[in-house]
Amino acid sequence: MGQQQLLLIVLSVIIVGIAVVVGINMFGASAASANLEAVSNDLLNLAARAQQYYVKPTSMGGGGNSFTDLTLEDLTAKPSNDNGTYTLGTNSGSSVQIIGTGTQDGDGDGAKCKVTVTVMADSIATVVNER
């Protein structure tokens, strides 16, 4: 009877250990997914501000139907927050890219999540470069 109880204890410890490992993995995946969504949300907010800048007349501090002189400071006072860091990419005058780099590595390759938003006068295109 002592061996049977010892076997049950060992089996219980193994099952609990597996459950803990699965729980940790699920939490990590959830945190990375939440970070990617938060960065995407922040980028869409910045993209809407860029479109506002585009249509605002130059006399009022806007672009006058151009993204040419747009800076990150025109969009936000803080280019980084708890979700990630944001930078301006390619600016052609008729479109501008805003790049967001998150704080989490979702796919375990060592690179943090990265999303690029291309803003045009009437549309916004989002591309996830790194999960």
- Answer left, alpha or beta for residue 39, where phi above 0 means left and psi between -120 and 50 means alpha: alpha
Three-state SS at 19: helix
Query: Whose CA is closest to 39, among 70, 81, 9?
Result: 81
Determine the Cα–Cα distance for residues 12 and 34; give it in Å rounded to an integer: 33
| Residue 111: predicted pLDDT | 85
Instruction: Encode pLDDT of 89-131 as tens digits.
Output: 999 989 999 999 999 887 778 889 999 999 999 999 999 988 8
Average pLDDT of the residues in 14-35? 88
pTM of structure: 0.80
Determine the Cα–Cα distance for residues 35 and 45; give it in Å rounded to an integer: 15
pLDDT bucket at 60, cuts 50 / 70 / 90:
very high
Determine the Cα–Cα distance for residues 28 and 123; give it in Å rounded to an integer: 33
Determine the Cα–Cα distance for residues 42 and 36; give it in Å rounded to an integer: 10
Is residue 79 predicted with pLDDT exceeding 90?
yes
| Residue 108: predicted pLDDT | 75
Instruction: Encode pLDDT of 28-51 as tens digits.
Output: 778 888 999 999 999 999 999 999
Amino acid at 40: S
